[in-house]
Amino acid sequence: MPEQKMIDHLFRHQYGKMVSILIRIFGLQHLETIEDAVQDTFINAMKAWQSNVPENPEAWLTKSAKNRTLDLFRKLSAEDARIANIEAGVTTIAINELFLEHEVEDSVLRMIFTACNPVLNSKDQIAFALRTISGFSGKEIASALLLREETVKKRLVRARKMIQEKHIAFEIPGELNLAPRLDRVLKVIYLIFNEGFHSSRKDMLIREDLCGEAMRLVKVLLNNQYTATPASRALFALFCFQAARLRSKTNDQKEIISLRDQDRSEWYMPLIALGHRTMNKAVDTETFSQYHYEAAIAAEHSQASSYHETNWDKILVWYERLNELEQSPMNLLNMAVVQLQRKDLKAVKSLLEKIQPNLLEQRAYLYYGTFAEYAYQIGNREESLIYIDKAIKLVKNEAELNYLGRQKIKYQAG
């Protein structure tokens, strides 16, 4: 793996760990200093590894981040006395113990729940968590939340300010306060996976590192008796079903392969089996979450031996249940896509007429692409070309742009 790709991979998987451990050592009041230290560590890694990549890159990064944090604190005169004592004796042993695997996991879990503290504005929570837990850039957060980058920047500033003013503790909440905080935690992890499964980046459709990071974070929840809830299990099952077919979504030329044309022999069956086992545990509840319904939809796709044998009727039912639970334009659009497969064109039109494309923000091109296919199926070639051009104008990702271009050629051919 080239050095830059290695650093990108490690940044995604180690950023949250480093920030979490260092906050546990030095305190939340020094969050910005710690984030600067971790950023500096990766910049130094890019320079140092050009000539010699260490045998254990993760250990190198962890040690460097710790040392860089100490260097920064030494520059803060108010901290000089305390920092001087942190490098010797019992204190050093205690700090080193925090870098043990089970303690790292505990620190990450603390960071997850700290980021989702109810004291923070709910909109600020997600942006802050995406930044501190998984090192999302402002642009990535903006795409995941369908926001402008400037809005994301303001939310991050507000979250850090509130943590300082309210003296928020770096801890896992007690059992009574756990449930509402866990809902927000699951949402954040869900967004991380989605950015990997359908990336907002112009040059990349799939980011397996983000999918892996989301799966790692939800596994942290499943390893804790209080956070291993039915919703957590359903989310992990959803990830398993989706991740199992990542490799079949594109070809060697990075072109999109539609679900209809994917080679299902490439789907990773052990991961699908794990998803089903996890789902069997997740349904042991009287209340289903959005993740239950989304996992049920993904499960239907995973167990269909071919595209033509997909149970679209059942998938439609799950989408309808999902939309009853939480109405959204994306749910309506997905239902329209399902109705296209069922050849119920009247239902497709009815659903599309209920959607305001602007509410889909950066995903509005999906609406126009779906409308183009609807127009094509009813024989309105002229309208299909109008809508596919609207989709092409709005799409940012190169692979999706090429896919829509191929669709346009199909519509032109009639």
Q: Residue 254 region, left (φ>0) first, then alpha (ψ -120 to 50), else beta? A: left
CB contact set of 254 (below 8 Å; sequence gap of 6+): 205, 399
C-beta atoms surrounding 151 within 10 Å: 15
Asked if 217 and 192 touch (Cβ cutoff 8 Å), the reply is: yes
Residue the block writes with tokens 């998987």: 13
Distance CA 107, CA 228 (A): 17
Distance CA 127, CA 82 (A): 32
The 3-state DSSP class for residue 28 equals: helix
Residue the block writes with tokens 């409308």: 371
Q: Taking residues 263-280, report their average pLDDT.
A: 96
Q: How confident is the prediction for the chain on average, in pLDDT?
A: 86
Cα 144 to Cα 93, 277, 362, 363, distances in angstroms? 40, 29, 9, 10
Distance CA 212, CA 42 (A): 20
Mind listing the pLDDT tens digit for each residue in 61-93?
877 877 776 776 666 545 555 544 444 443 444
Q: Is the pTM of this model over 0.85?
A: no
Closest by CA to 197, choosing from 120, 233, 250, 149, is 250
Mind listing the pLDDT tens digit for each residue in 124-175?
888 888 888 878 888 888 877 767 889 999 999 999 999 888 888 888 787 7
Mind listing the pLDDT tens digit for each residue in 4-43?
666 677 776 778 888 888 888 778 888 888 888 888 888 8
Of 40-49, 95-104, 237-246, the one with minimum mean pLDDT is 95-104
Burial label for 344, CB within 10 Å (0-12, 13-18, 19+), is middle
Question: Token digits for 317?
Answer: 């039912």
Burial label for 330, CB within 10 Å (0-12, 13-18, 19+), is middle
So what's the pLDDT on residue 203? 76
What's the N-to-C CA distance of the chain in angstroms? 45
DSSP E strands: which ranges in 48-156?
A: none
Work out the angle between the directed axes of helices 57-74 and 31-48 (0-180°, nearest 10). Answer: 130
pLDDT interval class at 3 (50, 70, 90): low
C-beta atoms surrounding 319 within 10 Å: 23
Half-sphere exposure of 315 (CA within 13 A, CB side): 23
Mind listing the pLDDT tens digit for each residue in 90-116?
344 444 554 445 555 677 788 888 888
Single-letter amino acid, residue 94: A
Asked if 144 and 130 touch (Cβ cutoff 8 Å), the reply is: yes
Asked if 28 and 170 touch (Cβ cutoff 8 Å), the reply is: yes
Per-residue burial over 161-185, b if 16 or more Cβ lie within 10 Å, else e, is: ebbeeeebebebbeeeebeebbebb
So what's the pLDDT on residue 164? 86
So what's the pLDDT on residue 86? 47
* Cα three-residue angle 105-108-109, rounded to 5 degrees: 85
Distance CA 302, CA 267 (A): 8
Distance CA 28, CA 20 (A): 9
Residue the block writes with tokens 């979250």: 159
Single-letter amino acid, residue 300: E
Q: Which residue has the higher pLDDT, 369 or 207?
A: 369
So what's the pLDDT on residue 89? 41
